A and B are shown apart, each in its own frame.
Chain A
Amino acid sequence: MLDTHLDFKLLEMCARCEACYHICPSSLNIEGYDPRAVIKDILAGDYEKWITSKHIWQCLECHHCLEICFQHYGFENAMTALRTLAAKRGVTPPQVKRGWDMFVKTGRLGEPIMPARKKLSLPEPGASGKEEFLKLLGVYREAKGREGTPAE
């Protein structure tokens, strides 16, 4: 499953390098968060325990690992793949589920606050692209059902 999302050859290099471990803000500051252990388990095919772990949601996607990586690959790819797998199985933090539901319903993660805009003398906000987004979402879902996963 993970091999469709990840380049295992690059990950093998990651396992021997560990540069990102020494720069990652979560590795440096969150107890138990260790990219080295996750990569080792993915390479051994033993990643199931990470799917339900809170640690995979502690990757901040700051792209620091990507920038320091001599392969420009980065540990975050491994975390994204694990989170996608968790989402497919419905094992996401409740707030992720709420945010996703709002996104697919409105195309946004929040609406402009009109009373505050008035107080600040802000102009009318640009019109939302909601209707067109919902139509496109329908097109996307139909194509996905027909062909698997378009644009992935």
Chain B
Amino acid sequence: MKEFAVFWGCTIQSRFPFLEKSTRVVMDALGLPYREVDGFTCCPEKSLVNNVDHGLWTLTAARNVAIVDEMELDIVSPCTGCVSNLATVASELKVDPGKKEEVNGLLKEVGREFKGEAKLSHLVPFLHDEVGVNTIKARIEKDFSGMRFAIHYGCHMMRPSHALKNDDPLEPKKFDNIIRALGAVSLEFPTKLMCCGQGLDRVDQHDMALHMARIKLRELKRIGADALVLCCPSCYLQFDNNQFLMEREGEKFGIPVLYLTDLIGLGMGFQPEDMGLSYHRVDVGPFLEKWERGHSRPSPAATLTGELNVEGAL
């Protein structure tokens, strides 16, 4: 497997270092050849920088890609927004030689060159395609059979598809495949692919952000999901943080929110504290208890044998 740089992005490192922790635990356990790279900046965030200045958005992303181009590394990120932004700019420059030349003219002033050779992947399709679902499955010591999870893909994991080219943008399957490999049921529900709505918090429309979160959380409660599983810090912010804020105001949904790496790590035998699960604001206790119960319950066959062995049973 080719070495890669992890692009952590601003949100994970500034707000959710425990998500970095669980990602590292899983990458280390799988023996993935990742490297820490100096010099990255914000990807940059599309909804902020691109709206104000498309030229600076392009240039900043091109510089980040140029860093790994030079080191002949690929990029893998546990943030959907970062990958989507970098890949969108890279695809724009690859099909427009004039623009690429113009960008490289500016990058030359800081000793960089965008070549666009680095492969830019989000962690979920990377785990699916490069590591392989069966490799992950083989490492699971304690699976999630009997658990019913709702996946939230996160829009930018596979969109825009012309740039990311990693799954069906309207009917993605890879995240589902990993969840099934962990032994769990991946629930189908009408709002499965609906945007989390976190972007509304970034434009001072907090009530609207809560309104969007509520739509999905209500549905998850109705269908009895044991947890919401995702792999994007922005969606995590929306469903964990904002759900907690609603809970504090008396509106309780009780839907634990887990990062995919939390699940894989737990399944591999790591403890909740190894994954920083106590930092989640919505209590993950009910999820852990149900999972433990499922594993501590003897199998029906074992119970039957036990009963038949009792003296005078037959």
Which chain A residues have a beta carbon within 8 Å of chain B's beta carbons? 25, 29-30, 54, 57-58, 60-64, 66-68, 72, 80, 83-84, 87, 92-96, 99-100, 103, 107-113, 116-117, 120-123, 125-130, 132-133, 135-137, 139-140, 143-144, 149-152
* Contact, CB under 8 Å: A123 / B59: no
B 101-118 contacts with A by CB, 8 A:
102-103, 106-107, 109-110
Q: A108-B41, A151-B59 are in contact. Are A80 and B195 (CB under 8 A)?
A: no
Which of A30, A58, A151: most chain B Cβ within 10 A?
A151
User: Looking at chain B, what size class is its interface with the partner chain?
Assistant: 35 or more
* Contact, CB under 8 Å: B55 / A129: no
| Complex contacts, A152 vs chain B, CB 8 Å | 54-55, 58
Which of B17, B161, B208: most chain A Cβ within 10 A?
B17
B49 interface hit (Cβ, 8 Å): yes
B155 interface hit (Cβ, 8 Å): yes
Distance of A107 Cα from B61 Cα, bound (Å): 11
* Contact, CB under 8 Å: B199 / A60: yes
Distance of A67 Cα from B103 Cα, bound (Å): 27
- From B56, B99, B160, B170, contact of A137 by CB (8 A): B56
Q: A64-B170, A108-B14, A113-B15 are in contact. List 17 more A-B contacts (CB 8 A).
A: A62-B156, A63-B155, A63-B160, A66-B160, A67-B159, A67-B169, A87-B53, A93-B203, A103-B49, A107-B41, A109-B42, A110-B11, A112-B14, A122-B20, A126-B40, A133-B63, A136-B109
Distance of A18 Cα from B155 Cα, bound (Å): 21
- From B8, B11, B156, B200, contact of A109 by CB (8 A): B11
B166 interface hit (Cβ, 8 Å): no
| Complex contacts, B36 vs chain A, CB 8 Å | 123, 125-126
* Contact, CB under 8 Å: B55 / A108: no
Q: A99-B48, A112-B14 are in contact. Are A94 and B110 (CB under 8 A)?
A: no
| Complex contacts, B32 vs chain A, CB 8 Å | none
B44 interface hit (Cβ, 8 Å): yes
* Contact, CB under 8 Å: A129 / B13: no
* Contact, CB under 8 Å: B18 / A120: yes
B21 interface hit (Cβ, 8 Å): yes
| Complex contacts, A67 vs chain B, CB 8 Å | 159-161, 169-170
* Contact, CB under 8 Å: B205 / A54: yes
| Complex contacts, A64 vs chain B, CB 8 Å | 155, 159, 170, 193, 195
Q: A80-B51, A109-B11, A110-B13 are in contact. Are A103 and B99 (CB under 8 A)?
A: no
Q: What 7 A-B pairs come out closest when comparing CB atoms?
A: A110-B14, A107-B41, A63-B159, A62-B155, A62-B195, A127-B38, A57-B203
> What are 26 A-B contacts defined by CB distance under 8 Å?
A29-B212, A29-B215, A30-B211, A60-B199, A62-B155, A62-B195, A64-B193, A84-B54, A93-B203, A95-B203, A96-B48, A96-B202, A107-B41, A109-B10, A109-B11, A109-B42, A120-B276, A122-B24, A126-B8, A126-B38, A128-B39, A128-B40, A135-B110, A136-B60, A136-B106, A151-B102
| Complex contacts, A136 vs chain B, CB 8 Å | 59-60, 63, 106-107, 109-110
* Contact, CB under 8 Å: A132 / B110: yes
Smallest CB gap from B100: residue in A: A151
Distance of A128 Cα from B195 Cα, bound (Å): 31
* Contact, CB under 8 Å: B17 / A84: no
| Complex contacts, A123 vs chain B, CB 8 Å | 36
B46 interface hit (Cβ, 8 Å): yes
* Contact, CB under 8 Å: B99 / A122: no
Smallest CB gap from A94: residue in B: B204
B183 interface hit (Cβ, 8 Å): no
* Contact, CB under 8 Å: B159 / A140: no
| Complex contacts, A96 vs chain B, CB 8 Å | 48, 51-52, 202-203
Distance of A63 Cα from B159 Cα, bound (Å): 6
